[in-house]
């Protein structure tokens, strides 16, 4: 709902680029955003707004005004600015402490990071470093599409599934699905995956697919062999961390074995309690 309201507030994009001459609100904050009976966001209080003299102007010179912390933060240093509060959390990759706790952790984590990334792109002091409202609107729409897609997929499976699919080669068989028991925060830490032949296992978040990895890290796993049957025991307590685009996160890891030799590894980075495994079999 908040994301939808933010996109509706991107009506500011019309004031900046669609209305002639352009108008700058100057005091946009939560108390200046009202909701209709259908929970549609409306912008109010244009008392401090400023219209450009003509379309060709690139800026308007004004004196500091508006709510401290929302406009001209340097003119009011007595309170902690939200950017000062959120920056250390972003550096630690702690999205849980940034998101409203009333959501009870029921949100699309990649969508949340995307929205935060958009917000952070809007705060550099130099205007050239900030995106245009049209760019912001486009990014927010992508974020909303990601969130809506996650709401559809998150209900598809409560139980964890192993999807045994095929590498994109002509001599491989068609995909098949192998159901496994529901996995909880306690039980999945010692998940044992069995397959007849070498396998590659990727871990997926049910709402968004695999998270982006910047620097993969290989972890040692407990392995057992019984003829052609290979068991891969995943112990998340011993898994390392990897640097992602948004900070350090704990990751589960699985190895690829071919003819009994370790060849490669794929790493996923998703919450333990919300996993779906995508398993690819290589001949």
Residues 201 and 267 in one domain: yes
Q: How many domains does the chain have?
A: 2
Report whether 274 contacts 206 (CB < 8 A).
yes
Q: What is the mean pLDDT of the chain?
A: 51
> Among the three residues 89, 118, 153, which one is the final residue of a domain in this structure?
153
Structure confidence at residue 189 (pLDDT) = 34
Q: Sorting pLDDT into bands at 50, 70 and 90, what band is 263?
A: very low
Residues 217 and 123 in one domain: no
pLDDT at 46 over 60: no
Q: Which helix (H) or strand (E) holds 266?
A: strand 261-267
Residue 187, domain extent: 161-281
Cα-to-chain-centroid distance, residue 123? 19
DSSP assigned state of 264:
E
Structure confidence at residue 109 (pLDDT) = 78
The domain that holds 99 is classified in CATH as: 1.10.510.10
One of 97, 122, 211, 231 is an active-site residue; which one? 211
Range name among 208-217, 225-234, 260-269 with the lowest pLDDT average:
208-217
What percent of the chain is modeled with pLDDT above 70?
A: 22
Alpha-carbon gap, residue 127 to 108, rounded angstroms:
30
Structure confidence at residue 129 (pLDDT) = 85
Residues 13 and 145 in one domain: yes
Structure confidence at residue 41 (pLDDT) = 61
pLDDT at 73 over 80: no
Tell me, yes or no, if 105 is annotated catalytic: no
Residues 126 and 170 in one domain: no
Residues 131 and 17 in one domain: yes
Structure confidence at residue 146 (pLDDT) = 75
Residues 78 and 119 in one domain: yes
Report whether 221 contacts 255 (CB < 8 A).
yes
Report whether 228 contacts 195 (CB < 8 A).
no
Q: What is the mean pLDDT of residues 220-249?
A: 32
Residues 165 and 149 in one domain: no
One of 97, 143, 208, 231 is an active-site residue; which one? 208
Compare 240 and 194 and report the one with higher pLDDT: 194
Structure confidence at residue 173 (pLDDT) = 30
Q: Sorting pLDDT into bands at 50, 70 and 90, what band is 123?
A: confident
> Among the three residues 124, 153, 182, which one is the final residue of a domain in this structure?
153
Residues 76 and 166 in one domain: no
Alpha-carbon gap, residue 113 to 245, rounded angstroms:
10
Q: What is the mean pLDDT of residues 142-160?
A: 56
Please choose, from the candidates 278, 279, 277, 272, the residue with its C-alpha nearest in 3D space to the C-alpha of residue 109: 272
Compare 83 and 264 and report the one with higher pLDDT: 83
What DSSP string describes 159-219? S-EEEEEE-S-TTSPPPEEEE-----TTTGGG-EEEEES-EEEEEEBTTTBSPP-SS----
Residues 6 and 143 in one domain: yes
What DSSP string describes 13-80? HIIIIISSS-EE-S---GGGEEE-TT--EEE---TT-EE-SSTT---------SSBTTB-GGG--SS-
Report whether 21 contacts 51 (CB < 8 A).
yes
When computed from its CA atoms, the radius of gyration of the chain, rounded to whole angstroms, is 24
Residue in the block written with tokens 């009976």: 37
Residue in the block written with tokens 């685009």: 245
Residues 149 and 171 in one domain: no
Compare 270 and 78 and report the one with higher pLDDT: 78
Q: What is the mean pLDDT of residues 261-271?
A: 36
Structure confidence at residue 211 (pLDDT) = 32
Q: What is the mean pLDDT of residues 227-236?
A: 34
> Among the three residues 132, 153, 174, which one is the final residue of a domain in this structure?
153
Residues 68 and 134 in one domain: yes
Tell me, yes or no, if 143 is annotated catalytic: no
Q: What is the mean pLDDT of residues 137-155?
A: 68
Alpha-carbon gap, residue 129 to 156, rounded angstroms:
41
Q: Which helix (H) or strand (E) holds 91?
A: helix 82-92
Residues 23 and 97 in one domain: yes
Q: Sorting pLDDT into bands at 50, 70 and 90, what band is 38?
A: low
């Amino acid at each position: 709902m908040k994301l939808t309201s933010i996109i509706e507030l991107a009506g500011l994009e019309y004031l900046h680029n669609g209305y002639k001459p352009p108008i700058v609100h100057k005091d946009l904050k939560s108390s200046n955003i009202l909701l209709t009976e259908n929970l549609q966001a409306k912008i109010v209080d244009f008392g401090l707004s400023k219209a450009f003299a003509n379309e060709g102007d690139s800026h308007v010179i004004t004196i500091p005004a508006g709510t401290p912390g929302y406009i001209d933060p340097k003119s009011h240093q007595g309170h902690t600015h939200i950017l000062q509060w959120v920056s250390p959390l972003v550096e630690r990759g702690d999205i849980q402490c940034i998101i409203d706790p009333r959501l009870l952790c029921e949100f699309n984590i990649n969508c949340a990071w995307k929205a935060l990334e958009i917000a952070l792109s809007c705060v550099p002091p130099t205007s050239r470093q900030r995106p245009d409202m049209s760019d912001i609107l486009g990014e927010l729409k992508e974020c909303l599409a990601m969130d809506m897609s996650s709401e559809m997929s998150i209900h598809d499976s409560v139980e964890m599934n192993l999807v045994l699919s095929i590498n994109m080669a002509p001599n491989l068989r068609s995909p098949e699905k192998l159901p496994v028991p529901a996995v909880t925060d306690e039980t999945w830490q010692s998940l044992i995956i069995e397959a007849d032949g070498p396998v590659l296992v990727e871990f997926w978040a049910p709402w968004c697919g695999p998270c982006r990895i910047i620097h993969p890290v290989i972890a040692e796993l407990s392995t057992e062999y019984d003829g052609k049957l290979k068991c891969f025991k995943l112990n998340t307590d011993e898994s390392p961390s990897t640097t992602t685009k948004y900070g350090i996160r704990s990751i589960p890891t699985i190895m690829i074995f071919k003819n009994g030799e370790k060849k490669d590894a794929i790493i996923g980075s998703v919450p333990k309690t919300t996993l779906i495994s995508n398993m690819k079999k290589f001949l």
